[in-house]
């Protein structure tokens, strides 16, 4: 059972390209999180969404609750954006479910 599905699994982009990572989920949620994991392994939280859209610098996250879908966009991508991006949902029961991640490589 996969409560959270992400696509694509792997993504290679040229520096400056606009990037979109998609996340679909099948459970009722109280919130959706986008996480970033760098090659060293550390995980940081980028966004927490319960509705609408959020923007932080070159990163934009959107969520459509009715369609159970979220997207993470990166504008003007840069090699330092290379990382694994993980979608996570917090269920109504306070349990977390994760996608398997999207490995992004931005080439100079």
Partner 1 sequence: EAQVTQNPRYLITVTGKKLTVTCSQNMNHEYMSWYRQDPGLGLRQIYYSMNVEVTDKGDVPEGYKVSRKEKRNFPLILESPSPNQTSLYFCASSHPGLAHNEQFFGPGTRLTVL
* Contact residues for partner 1, defined by CB under 8 A: 31, 33, 35, 41-45, 48, 86, 88, 94-101
The encoded tokens of residue 61 equal 């996250």
Minimum CB separation of residue 41 from partner 1 in Å reads 5
Minimum CB separation of residue 15 from partner 1 in Å reads 27
If the CB atoms of residues 41 and 108 are measured against partner 1, the closer one turns out to be: 41
Half-sphere exposure of 58 (CA within 13 A, CB side): 12
Minimum CB separation of residue 33 from partner 1 in Å reads 7
CA 64 to centroid of chain Cα atoms: 14
Nearest of 74, 39, 33, 42 to residue 57 by alpha carbon: 74
């Amino acid at each position: 059972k996969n409560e959270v599905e992400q696509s694509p699994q792997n993504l290679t982009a040229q520096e400056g390209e606009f990037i979109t990572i998609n996340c679909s989920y099948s459970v009722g949620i109280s919130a959706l999180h986008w996480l970033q994991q760098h090659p060293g392994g550390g995980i940081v939280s980028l966004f927490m969404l319960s509705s609408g859209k959020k923007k932080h610098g070159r990163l934009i996250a959107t969520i459509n609750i009715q369609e159970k879908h979220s997207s993470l966009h990166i504008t003007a991508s840069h090699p330092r954006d290379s990382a694994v991006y993980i979608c996570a949902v917090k269920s109504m029961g306070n349990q977390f479910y994760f996608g398997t991640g999207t490995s992004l490589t931005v080439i100079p």
